Structure 1
Amino acid sequence: MATQLKPNVECSSEEWQARLDLAACYRIFDHLGWGESIYNHISVAVPGEADTFLINPFGLLYDEVTASNLVKIDVEGNNVGQSQYMVNKAGFTQHAYFHKHLGEKATAICHVHTTATMAVCSHKGGLLPTNFYACNFQGQIGYHDFEGVTVRPEEGERLVENLGDHSILMLRNHGPVVMDRTIPGMFVKMWALQRACEIQVATLSQGEANVISQEVVDVHQRDLSVMASQGGAGVFDFEAWKRRIDKIDSSWRN
């Protein structure tokens, strides 16, 4: 395991750990091909600080993000940290509204434009119960109609309303927003959603899909919830991928 470096920014030990986990998450997303040039975002609330979160510096690729260059901003868009970087307004508007109004439910948030997830967001039926992973999410996803690039604060109310009690919001014709109480939980949810979408796209390319009944979906979700605790809500998955990226490049820890 890589040596734990001392913080390169003035912050609490809790914030530094959040920075490390978020930087690692950016590198994992990059490794998995989930980056989108310098766009899209992953954010995490700063532990112990109300209405404050960390997000990627605008202008850097995901493989350039490190624990110390993450930007600390409040939900009004003010840079309250030491970063010299700016943030992308589209990312700030969307993430800030969720962090401000959803509390711990949205501690960690990602928004991606992967080909598979955008394709499913653009499909009239959305995510269909046609494969193992897709069954995980049936009845647990909100949908929000496309309104253009997300830079207008008033859209935030509709985003939260359409999310409802769920933790995934499919922005139609755009891409998904995935959130959780922890970074590992958000990551493993995003991983499973990506797989569900990849398989759906491949399945529908063959013609008519075999749709799984709601009765079987209900049994699947019941049994899955029993098994979920074994994986530590994504902790095992996240730590495994951190080991992988450490072998490739551990500079995210800087």
Structure 2
Amino acid sequence: MHTLAGKDSINTHSTVRVPGDDHHFLINPFGLRLGEVKASDLIKIDLDGNVIGPSKHPVNRAGYVIHSANPMQREDARCVIHTHTLPGMAVAAMADGLQVHNIFGLGFHDRISYHEFEGASGDHNISERDRLAESLGSSNKAMIMRNHGLLTVGETVAEAFVWMYRLDRACQVQAMVQGTPGRFVTPSLQAAESTVKGTENFVNGFGACRPGELEFSAFMRLMSEIDPSFSD
């Protein structure tokens, strides 16, 4: 996540349900940059946002509201990632949302959800988590939170991360293209539908591994080269 959204100070948050325990999940601590977070820093909380066990750091309450929505609603949303990258926020501010004029964007053709901005998330608006789950729907793995940022879910950390990586790349390309003069080339509907299937096959490792694991493993090797202490 540091390689993807490391410039977002301390505001990016991710969660994953504790294996074998649907009532607790882990969240990155509030106050640490993503590049500082180690495995031992993760905080265990329950669905009401209460910290379970000792922790040196507080919990991002906005993160708790956003992330407690989907784990309670969908079995395939065991990991939730939310970012405020510049490309993601740029597209989140565009009335037409994500466009399908590049291969990354095409991978989300008819597979992207939207959630209207309700102001900053937090304990004062706890009911928003129900609307977040409703906005995401029953099958999409990615959502644009208008005027806010991006959100992806997955059955595993690997799957949620890979969807976020691809969604952010789609937004980055779109922001660059829309800042250039000239007309855009829009692929055919047939090409869009083909790319969706191809993207899903790619994320699923063409059946050779669990969703996202092939690409996520490559990023894990990169992190080990940069700073292996992240796993401490």
User: TM-score scaled to structure 1, two decimals?
Assistant: 0.84
Task: Say whether 1:63 aligns with 2:39.
Answer: no
Does structure 1 conserve the Cα–Cα contact (< 8 Å) formed by 2:17 and 2:79?
yes
Work out which of the residue numbers 59, 64, 75 in structure 2 matches 1:87: 59
Unpaired stretches in structure 1, ≥5 consecutive residues:
1-28
Distance 1:226 1:179, change over 3 A: closer
Q: Which residue of 2 aligns with 1:246?
A: 224
Q: Which residue of 2 aligns with 1:236?
A: 214
Letter matched to residue 31 of structure 2: G
Q: Which residue of 1 aligns with 2:168?
A: 194
4+ residue segments displaced more than 6 Å: none
Distance 1:128 1:98, change over 3 A: same
Question: In 2, distance between residues paired with 1:32 and 1:225?
Answer: 21
C-alpha offsets along residues 193-249 of structure 1, whole Å, 9 cap, x if unaligned? 111111111111113322222222112223444444337322121111111111121
Alignment of 1:125-136 (within 5 A): 125-136=96-107
Does structure 2 conserve the Cα–Cα contact (< 8 Å) formed by 1:66 and 1:253?
yes
Using the aligned pairs only, state the percent identity.
35
Work out which of the residue numbers 114, 136, 158 in structure 2 matches 1:184: 158
Alignment of 1:138-217 (within 5 A): 138-151=109-122, 152-165=125-138, 166-207=140-181, 208-217=183-192
Question: In 1, distance between residues paired with 2:168 and 2:145?
Answer: 15
Letter matched to residue 88 of structure 1: N
Distance 1:126 1:175, change over 3 A: same
SS of equivalent residue, structure 1 residue 193: helix
SS of equivalent residue, structure 1 residue 137: coil
SS of equivalent residue, structure 1 residue 178: strand
Does structure 1 conserve the Cα–Cα contact (< 8 Å) formed by 2:28 and 2:37?
yes
Letter matched to residue 118 of structure 2: E
Unpaired stretches in structure 2, ≥5 consecutive residues:
none
More helix by proportion, 1 or 2?
1
Q: CA deviation at 1:35?
A: 4.3
Distance 1:39 1:33, change over 3 A: closer
